[in-house]
Chain A
Amino acid sequence: MKRALTIAMLVLLAMPLLYAMSQLPPHGSATSPAYTHISPRYLERGPEEAGAENVVTDVILNYRGFDTNGEVTVIFTSLAAVLAVLLAGRKGDERPVREPAAEPSPPSVVVRFVVRLLGPFVTMFAVYVIINGHVSPGGGFQGGTVFGALVILITVVLGRSVAEKLQPLGVRRILQAAAPLTFVAVGVLGLALFGDYLAFPRDEALAWVRTSWLMVIEIGIGVGGAAIISAIFWQMGGDR
């Protein structure tokens, strides 16, 4: 009964949604406002005025860089939220520290060797993805995730103490805040030099400055993303 009612409700709700969707400008039509209003400028002038060959990078880091500034803050917030929920519970009833039932049998020599062997290559790929975000799909978010995945892999196979060496405790909190901080730094620099927050030099002669600032932001996003992914993963394994 309850299920039937739910289905009926969903169907009832779907009808106006579907009707409204059918009235939207047809998908892929060249005359739809989504293709004729602001996107032509991004496509035509993006690479020269915004600083990256990849138009997507132009939009997310330059034209709408402030959104991305907010998004990296959302990611930072997610880390803070995980810490708020998982850091050792309320005083008094310390949650039982979950010691692994027995030390899990260490992965075989082959696995350990392969992970060690892969490490440098995965790192190189991460760096490539971050830097290449300029000209092809990729960028800080993706590259950071690739590197974060490597940290998780090392944690699982070689142990957390090995993985944690990649992010020394002293700088770990800075690394986690790297993405928003990079944005703020570049943004304030733009404000000081060119009068607007996150403004990049527009002058053709300064194209290299523009490109290198974008690169700095990409690297900041990558470092911050990797640090946050590994921190969340470690936190799920208990406090240190």
Chain B
Amino acid sequence: MTASALLVGLIIVPLAGAVLTPVVGGRDGARACGWATLVMVVTSGIAAALVVHVAQVGPFSAYLGGWEPPYGIELRFDEFSASVAIICLLGLLAVVFSLRYAAHELPPVRIGTYYTLLLLNLTGMLGFVVTGDVFNLFVFMEILSLSGYALVAISGERTAEMAAFKYLVMGAVSSLLVLFAIGLLYALTGSLNMADISARLSGAAEAPAMLALALLTTGLMVKAALFPLHVWLPDAHAIAPSPVSALLSGLVVKTGLLGLIRVYQIYYGAKVLDLSALNTVLVWLGAISIVMGAFFAIFQEDIKMMLAYSTISNIGYIVMGLGLASQYGMIGATVHIFNHALIKATLFLGAGAIIYRTGYRNLTDLRGVGRSMPFTTAAISVGAISIVGMPPTAGFLCKWYIALGAVQAGHPVFGVALVFGALFIFVYYIRMVNSFYFQQPVHPEILEVKEAPLSMLVPILILAALCLVMGLLGRIPLSFIEPAVTRLLGTVGG
């Protein structure tokens, strides 16, 4: 099996699996879940092989249809694409978690469709991350967005439908911006291949190149929910079924950021524009996102709403790291894309398990749940410590690197914003842990609920364990991504 065949398989296996889900599963939820699990196991195997391959030989490509770029479509697997590993891992765990959750929370006839959409969403993300062609990127963005809107609405509750509609309107506009930008890039360069655009953009007119950059950044930052483009996020992420929240918050918003990295690759390489103005804007917006997200999270009673606002903070960290355009900042940001996905999935799946068992989602109602669901709440606590960024957890190293990056870029003040944000975040996660363990239950029956079923508990515990392991082995992803960041920044020329 050659690497390029595996690279294609990474997209084709979940794609074929998704369209076959209704055929295999029918309206039998358990069978659809089994099928989706199988598909994700195979896909995860492929992803693991690809990540190992890229670590050994560096970036590689697959030419679809055998047409060499720029005539055909190129799939490009570089170190940034290694995020397929986390996409597959979270996808697999979310599917397993859904077995009991979907049967409990969703209208029975929709369960088959639910797994179809989950697999389509994962296909879209995998394709988005590995493609080397801007129009192909757009196609996969549509698959993942469209399935994302539907997954938010799938519970059929009025609020869910409203949240999905808001998400749809914002998302559709952002897709349009990206498409328009792709049109501009094609008019300027006559090409759709990213590397080729980058090479040909240098001679192009400045104003349209700048407009394309602005549209791409805006469009992708809507997907990433950077302040002030975040308004769709809290409702959509809080109201969606919990496994979907984990995917949306952990992964889907990150595709906007990985898209931004691709845009950087194009524009840094082209040297047509000085990106420092854009970077300044991004760093500021990132800083505001950190503080605003944390500030709003403090006032949330609903546990999932709180987690959703915390995603906005963390997107802020990552965007700030990318915008700093310094070695440390960028490495920290890229690794935080990965680590935050782990952490937020732990938290959302944990919250989902608690809501599944107790039926409550407000912190006041959930007082005392730590005594009846010890494993789940322990996992959530690990997640909470990680997201605050305390050593030795996964959140610490990347935030440390981003802070170092701020110093390295000569803006230590942003490092202060980062610590300040972490303090805020600490406050509201302490509130959560406090109500789980140390407060008198409002509802006495909460002490009687059972621990989450195994199909939920195992994914949560795996994720919580990874939060710790990634903290201890934090060097590995940092050194893995370093060559890619050096290449990217090396093209800046200083």
Query: Chain A interface (Cβ within 8 Å of chain B)?
Result: 16-17, 19-21, 23-25, 32-39, 41-42, 62-67, 69-71, 73-74, 76-78, 80-81, 83-85, 87-91, 173-174, 176-177, 180-181, 184, 187-188, 190-191, 194-200, 202, 239
Given contacts A33-B200, A65-B65, A67-B139, contact A24 B190 (CB under 8 A): no
B136: Cβ under 8 A from any A Cβ: yes
Given contacts A33-B187, A38-B191, 8 further A-B contacts (CB under 8 A): A67-B133, A67-B136, A81-B117, A83-B110, A83-B113, A89-B107, A195-B2, A197-B62
Which positions 1-50 of chain B face chain A at CB distance < 8 Å?
Answer: 2, 4-5, 8, 12, 15-16, 18-20, 22-23, 26
Q: B186's closest neighbor in chain A, by CB?
A: A34
Q: B144's closest neighbor in chain A, by CB?
A: A77
Give Cα distance in the complex from A24 to B207, angstroms. 8
Task: Specify which of B20, B109, B156, B186 lies most central, judged by the most chain A CB atoms within 10 Å of its CB.
Answer: B156
B433: Cβ under 8 A from any A Cβ: no
A180 with B19: CB separation less than 8 A? yes
B189: Cβ under 8 A from any A Cβ: yes
B135: Cβ under 8 A from any A Cβ: yes
Distance between B368 CB and nearest chain A CB, rounded to angstroms:
29
- Point out the residue from B66, B110, B164, B208 that lies within 8 Å of A23, measured CB to CB: B208
B71: Cβ under 8 A from any A Cβ: yes
Distance between A126 CB and nearest chain B CB, rounded to angstroms:
22
Q: A177's closest neighbor in chain B, by CB?
A: B19
Chain B neighbourhood of A23, CB < 8 A: 205-208
B211 with A16: CB separation less than 8 A? yes
Which positions 56-70 of chain B face chain A at CB distance < 8 Å?
Answer: 62-67, 70
Q: List 26 A-B contacts (CB under 8 A).
A: A20-B210, A24-B208, A32-B187, A33-B190, A35-B190, A41-B71, A63-B65, A63-B67, A66-B64, A70-B139, A73-B123, A73-B143, A77-B147, A80-B150, A81-B117, A87-B109, A87-B110, A88-B107, A90-B157, A177-B19, A177-B20, A187-B8, A188-B12, A195-B66, A196-B66, A197-B62
Distance between B404 CB and nearest chain A CB, rounded to angstroms:
36
A84 with B8: CB separation less than 8 A? no
Given contacts A20-B211, A77-B120, contact A187 B12 (CB under 8 A): yes
A184 with B15: CB separation less than 8 A? yes
B140: Cβ under 8 A from any A Cβ: yes
A197 with B12: CB separation less than 8 A? yes
Chain A neighbourhood of B26, CB < 8 A: 173
Chain B neighbourhood of A89, CB < 8 A: 107, 156
- Point out the residue from A32, A41, A90, A180 that lies within 8 Å of B156, measured CB to CB: A90
Give Cα distance in the complex from A17 to B180, angstroms. 11
Given contacts A20-B208, A87-B109, A89-B156, contact A181 B19 (CB under 8 A): yes
Distance between A106 CB and nearest chain B CB, rounded to angstroms:
30
- Point out the residue from A21, A39, A80, A90 that lies within 8 Å of B208, measured CB to CB: A21
B136 with A66: CB separation less than 8 A? yes
Given contacts A23-B207, A70-B136, contact A33 B189 (CB under 8 A): yes
B63 with A77: CB separation less than 8 A? no
Chain B neighbourhood of A38, CB < 8 A: 70-71, 190-191
A198 with B65: CB separation less than 8 A? yes
Chain B neighbourhood of A197, CB < 8 A: 5, 8, 12, 62, 64-65
Give Cα distance in the complex from A115 to B297, angstroms. 60
B107 with A87: CB separation less than 8 A? yes
Give Cα distance in the complex from A66 to B113, angstroms. 24
Name A's interface SS: helix
Give Cα distance in the complex from A62 to B64, angstroms. 9
- Point out the residue from A24, A37, A77 that lies within 8 Å of B143, measured CB to CB: A77
Chain B neighbourhood of A191, CB < 8 A: 5, 8
Give Cα distance in the complex from A64 to B64, angstroms. 8
B65 with A190: CB separation less than 8 A? yes
Which positions 122-173 of chain B face chain A at CB distance < 8 Å?
Answer: 123, 127, 133, 135-136, 139-140, 142-143, 146-147, 149-151, 153-157, 161, 164
A199 with B66: CB separation less than 8 A? yes
Chain A neighbourhood of B15, CB < 8 A: 69, 73, 180, 184
- The 8 A CB mask of B194-210 against A (1 = contact, 0 = none) is 00000010001111101
Chain A neighbourhood of B127, CB < 8 A: 70
B157 with A62: CB separation less than 8 A? no
A-B interface, 9 closest residue pairs, ranked by CB to CB distance from nearest: A37-B190, A33-B190, A70-B139, A81-B150, A20-B211, A177-B19, A196-B66, A90-B156, A84-B150
Q: B188's closest neighbor in chain A, by CB?
A: A33
A25 with B187: CB separation less than 8 A? yes
B211 with A80: CB separation less than 8 A? no
A34 with B190: CB separation less than 8 A? yes
Distance between A5 CB and nearest chain B CB, rounded to angstroms:
17
Chain A neighbourhood of B62, CB < 8 A: 196-197
Chain B neighbourhood of A71, CB < 8 A: 139
Give Cα distance in the complex from A195 to B188, angstroms. 33
Chain B neighbourhood of A39, CB < 8 A: 190
Give Cα distance in the complex from A174 to B490, angstroms. 50
Give Cα distance in the complex from A85 to B150, angstroms. 7
A80 with B116: CB separation less than 8 A? yes
B108: Cβ under 8 A from any A Cβ: yes
Chain B neighbourhood of A195, CB < 8 A: 2, 66
A73 with B207: CB separation less than 8 A? no
- Point out the residue from A84, A88, A199, A200 that lies within 8 Å of B153, measured CB to CB: A84
Task: Specify which of A35, A66, A91, A198 lies most central, judged by the most chain B CB atoms within 10 Å of its CB.
Answer: A66
Chain B neighbourhood of A200, CB < 8 A: 65
Give Cα distance in the complex from A41 to B157, angstroms. 53
Give Cα distance in the complex from A191 to B13, angstroms. 14
A64 with B66: CB separation less than 8 A? no
Chain A neighbourhood of B150, CB < 8 A: 77, 80-81, 84-85
Q: B116's closest neighbor in chain A, by CB?
A: A80
Chain A neighbourhood of B211, CB < 8 A: 16-17, 20
A62 with B65: CB separation less than 8 A? yes
- Point out the residue from A74, A174, A184, A202 that lies within 8 Å of B23, measured CB to CB: A174
B419: Cβ under 8 A from any A Cβ: no
Give Cα distance in the complex from A239 to B109, angstroms. 10
Task: Specify which of A23, A70, A87, A88 lies most central, judged by the most chain B CB atoms within 10 Å of its CB.
Answer: A70
Chain A neighbourhood of B378, CB < 8 A: none
